[in-house]
Amino acid sequence: MNNDALIKTKFNFPDQTNKYEGKVRDVYTIKSHLMLMVVTDRISAFDVVLPKGIPFKGQVLNQIAARFLDATADIVPNWKIDTPDPMVTAGLKCEPFMIEMVIRGYLTGHAWREYRSGKRQICGIPLPEGMKENEKFSEPIITPTTKATSGHDEDISREDIIKNGIVSESDYQKLEEYTSKLFERGQKYAAERGLILVDTKYEFGQVDGRIYLIDEIHTPDSSRYFYADGYEQRLKNNEPQKQLSKEFVREWLIENDFQGKEGQQIPEMSDDFLTQVSERYIELYEKIIGEKFIKSDSSNTAKRIEENCMAFLKCKEIKDY
């Protein structure tokens, strides 16, 4: 099954001026103002790209993100112009803010690991005593991180972001406002489908001084979802929540003595495990979107992507963009 996964791309598009390889996405810049973002099947955890890809993961991420970019465009403009392929989004090239806006509705994941270690403050925000894992905060908290070009992202406070000139105070206020409104919208959509949007992250950029939402939104790579049914009972019994997110991959890695630390070796990812992860991603798509996931033809994914992107770039509207 893993042979179907797209883990590397080597395209050369007309008017291409740059290629950037992220942890999961390969981004091709066209001229100076357009981008083709190819969402590969690579998977990362603890800021490390794992050696094997997850079939259909890229399609799942791209199609969920495209759907939610369209569904939140009334809150904040976003970079998306079109989706020329199931694994590709085309859009405006923005100058990114060098932070990620993480918002948390529940004490889980990284925040829980910090809390369990004894910390009662995250990104300058005080946390109350006596909380349990996966317990809901009285109000969502925004816990930004730095946006590392390599290595680990680091927690950072609102005060340090402004003091260090990473983002101006006026822009940061807008980012907080957009983050809260996007999260509220995402939680509403999730609740309608029997899910809880637990936490997520948003990235923003600018073009000519205007702020845009960029990258992905409300996908299982950027977000954590719990099933609403049984949440309270599992919390009461101190049981793990039934969830749809990448956290179970992190938990599997931790169980196999890997957290991205120096000297640690990535455990072997069996075909059965890759299939399980793929099915989890597809399950989330069908649950959150409310439609059956249609697998794209993966007999020659790279060729299909190239042909679809070339057709997009040849459109008169795009050539004159």
- Identify whether residues 126 and 64 lie together within a single domain: no
262 occurs within a structural domain:
no
Residue 151, pLDDT score: 59
What is the count of structural domains for the chain? 2
- Identify whether residues 75 and 203 lie together within a single domain: no
* CATH assignment of the domain containing 154: 3.30.470.20
- Identify whether residues 231 and 308 lie together within a single domain: no
- Identify whether residues 156 and 221 lie together within a single domain: yes
- Identify whether residues 58 and 108 lie together within a single domain: no
Write down the pTM of the prediction: 0.90
275 occurs within a structural domain:
no
Q: Spell out a b/e string for 187-197, using b for 16 or more CB atoms within 10 Å of the CB, else e.
A: bebbeeeebbb
192 occurs within a structural domain:
yes
pLDDT tens-digit series, residues 156-167: 999 999 999 999
Q: What percent of the chain has pLDDT over 70?
A: 96
pLDDT tens-digit series, residues 236-274: 999 999 988 777 798 899 999 999 999 999 999 999 999
- Identify whether residues 191 and 101 lie together within a single domain: yes
- Which structural domain range is residue 48 located in? 2-94+290-319
Residue 1, pLDDT score: 43
Residue 238, pLDDT score: 95
Looking at the chain, the number of H-run helices and the number of E-run strands are 9, 17
CB 140 within 8 A of CB 105: yes
CA distance 97 to 205: 5
18 occurs within a structural domain:
yes
The terminus-to-terminus CA distance of the chain in angstroms comes to 40
* CATH assignment of the domain containing 50: 3.30.200.20
**Of 222, 248, 274, at which residue does a domain stop?**
248
Record the tokens describing residue 1, joined without a space. Answer: 């099954």
- Identify whether residues 115 and 55 lie together within a single domain: no
Give 316's pLDDT tier (boundaries 50, 70, 90): low
**Of 196, 222, 248, at which residue does a domain stop?**
248
308 occurs within a structural domain:
yes
DSSP 78: B
CA distance 139 to 105: 7
Residue 36, pLDDT score: 98
CA distance 8 to 26: 8
CA distance 1 to 203: 32
Contacts of 289 (CB under 8 A, 6+ apart): 63, 64, 67
- Identify whether residues 140 and 170 lie together within a single domain: yes
CB 179 within 8 A of CB 142: yes
- Identify whether residues 242 and 107 lie together within a single domain: yes
Q: Which amino acid is at 32?
A: S
Give 306's pLDDT tier (boundaries 50, 70, 90): very high
Does residue 152 carry a pLDDT above 80?
no
CB 65 within 8 A of CB 33: no
User: Distances in Å between the alpha carbon of 165 and those of 144, 171, 172, 178?
Assistant: 15, 11, 10, 20
Residue with tokens 């050369």: 12
CA distance 34 to 31: 7
Give 280's pLDDT tier (boundaries 50, 70, 90): confident
261 occurs within a structural domain:
no
**Of 195, 230, 248, at which residue does a domain stop?**
248
pLDDT tens-digit series, residues 206-245: 999 999 999 999 998 899 999 999 999 999 999 999 988 7
274 occurs within a structural domain:
no
Residue with tokens 């690579």: 42
Does residue 100 carry a pLDDT above 70?
yes
**Higher per-residue confidence, 23 vs 148:** 23
- Identify whether residues 124 and 30 lie together within a single domain: no
- Identify whether residues 117 and 230 lie together within a single domain: yes
- Identify whether residues 44 and 34 lie together within a single domain: yes
